[in-house]
């Protein structure tokens, strides 16, 4: 799971990703930006089984105080679907067997300008809940491992995806955004010091470190 700058994110996707929800902006997938940090604007959650509960987005025209008071909209005033509506409709069509799950590329905010490439997820469900003030959308995103060929890579990625956001942030700050072996700030990955398969935890910063791609690969080879 790679740590990237916003510039790399935009370069990878060949577009400026400005909004949090971007339905079908690529030929075969959509893009969402998420954050589980304490100051995050939306209540995105990483559930224990690796599923992301992604919150829908607020109406755009209201000022920042009032937009947290009104229901998140399904449609714009002109009747066209909002991003909420587009994702909701795709989940609905999947649930009723009309389509395959929509493929979603997820990026998770680590800090300003720094993102974690979480890989692909399937949009498997969508519903509306009352958050105490108003109705908000919730979307369930399930990790998609279709592109992963090797079992080890699968286990590694599965558990990397479960590192809580606050732990990611703590590790990134502690290691000063650099590989703990060589100090490189390029191509960084989160690494389990003791691999999950050997009993290592994904939930504590003391078992996670930053490694560059080279040292991440070297370490992988050692444990085979
Ligand atoms: Zn290194």
For the chain, 224 residues long, give each residue's pLDDT as a single digit of tens.
789 999 999 999 999 998 999 999 999 999 999 988 888 889 999 887 889 999 999 987 666 668 888 999 999 989 999 999 999 999 999 999 999 999 999 999 998 899 999 999 999 999 999 999 999 999 999 999 887 666 666 666 677 778 888 899 999 999 999 999 999 999 999 998 988 878 888 899 999 999 998 998 887 666 54
- 38/106 same-domain check: yes
pLDDT of residue 164: 86
Q: The tokens of 49 are what?
A: 């089984």
- 109/188 same-domain check: no
- 130/206 same-domain check: no
pLDDT of residue 224: 46
- 122/163 same-domain check: no
Rounded Cα distance, 80 and 77, in Å:
7
For residue 176, how far is its CA from the centre of ligand 1 (angstroms)? Answer: 13
For residue 222, how far is its CA from the centre of ligand 1 (angstroms)? Answer: 15
* Global pTM value: 0.85
For residue 56, how far is its CA from the centre of ligand 1 (angstroms)? Answer: 38
For residue 91, how far is its CA from the centre of ligand 1 (angstroms)? Answer: 41
Query: Domains in the chain: how many in total?
Result: 2
Domain end, chosen from 143, 173, 195, is at: 143
Domain end, chosen from 125, 143, 161, is at: 143
For residue 55, how far is its CA from the centre of ligand 1 (angstroms)? Answer: 36
For residue 92, how far is its CA from the centre of ligand 1 (angstroms)? Answer: 45
- Residues flanking ion ligand 1, Cβ below 5 Å: 179, 181-182, 184, 212, 215
The CATH number of whichever domain residue 54 belongs to comes to 2.30.280.10
- 34/97 same-domain check: yes
For residue 180, how far is its CA from the centre of ligand 1 (angstroms)? Answer: 7
- Cβ-proximal residues to 190 (8 Å cutoff; 6+ apart), any chain: 1, 3, 116, 160, 163, 168, 171, 208, 209, 210
Domain end, chosen from 81, 110, 143, is at: 143
For residue 189, how far is its CA from the centre of ligand 1 (angstroms)? Answer: 10
For residue 214, how far is its CA from the centre of ligand 1 (angstroms)? Answer: 6
For residue 190, how far is its CA from the centre of ligand 1 (angstroms)? Answer: 12
Q: Domain containing 214: what range? A: 151-222
């Amino acid at each position: 799971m790679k740590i990237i700058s916003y510039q790399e994110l935009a370069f990878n996707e060949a577009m400026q990703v400005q909004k949090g929800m971007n339905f079908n902006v690529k030929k075969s997938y959509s893009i969402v930006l998420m954050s589980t940090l304490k100051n995050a604007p939306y209540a995105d959650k990483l559930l224990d089984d690796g599923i992301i509960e992604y919150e829908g987005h607020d109406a755009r025209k209201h000022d920042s105080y009032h937009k947290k008071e009104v229901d998140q909209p399904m449609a714009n005033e002109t009747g066209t679907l909002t991003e909420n509506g587009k994702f909701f409709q795709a989940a609905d069509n999947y649930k009723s067997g009309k389509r395959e799950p929509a493929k979603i590329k997820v990026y998770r905010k680590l800090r300003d300008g720094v993102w974690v490439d979480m890989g692909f997820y399937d949009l498997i469900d969508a519903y509306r809940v009352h958050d105490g003030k108003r109705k908000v959308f919730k979307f369930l995103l399930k990790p998609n491992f279709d592109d992963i060929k090797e079992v080890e890579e699968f286990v590694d990625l599965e558990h990397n995806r479960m590192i809580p956001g606050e732990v990611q942030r703590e590790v990134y700050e502690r290691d000063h955004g650099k590989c703990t072996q060589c100090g490189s700030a390029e191509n960084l990955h989160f690494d389990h010091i003791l691999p999950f398969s050997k009993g290592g935890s994904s939930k504590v910063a003391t078992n996670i470190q930053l490694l560059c791609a080279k040292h991440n690969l070297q370490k992988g080879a050692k444990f085979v």
